[in-house]
Amino acid sequence: MITVEQLRAVKQVLNLSASQSDPFRRYTILTMQLADVGECIEYMKAYPSLADGYKAELKVALSDLLVQTITMIVLYGMDANEILDLGIKRLEEFRKKGPLAE
């Protein structure tokens, strides 16, 4: 679960300036972080001998993506833990559909 201290850190960023709380700016940063995740995954496949290094970069990219996602949640006045719980419920609903054919 997301702690009060973690939420406080996100709110501090949003309060730095008006541009930090601009929804489109936050969305743009979120998409850049998502692209970084994809790049790391692709490079791990493309360069197996360098996979450990790209996995370390993936960890950082995922942390940035997670923080940006939480920032968007806070920006829109939503409860991050509620959103997480909703996502877990949706994951369970997905699994109830039956076996996945790929």
In a domain, 71, yes or no: yes
Domain that holds residue 66: 4-96
Report yes or no on 102 lying in a domain: no
pLDDT tens-digit readout, 12-60: 999 999 999 999 999 999 999 999 999 999 999 999 999 999 999 999 9
17: DSSP letter: -
CATH number of residue 66's parent domain: 1.10.287
Structural contact between residues 73 and 83, judged by C-beta atoms closer than 8 angstroms: yes
Secondary-structure breakdown of the chain: helix, strand, coil percentages, each rounded to the nearest 5: 80, 0, 20
Judge whether 8 lies within some domain.
yes
Quick one: which of 90, 32, 99 has its CA closest to 82?
90
Assigned domain for 28 exists: yes
Residues with Cβ within 8 Å of 19's Cβ and at least 6 positions away in sequence, in order, are 25
Q: What is the CA radius of gyration of the chain?
A: 17
pTM of the model: 0.86
* Domain total in the chain: 1
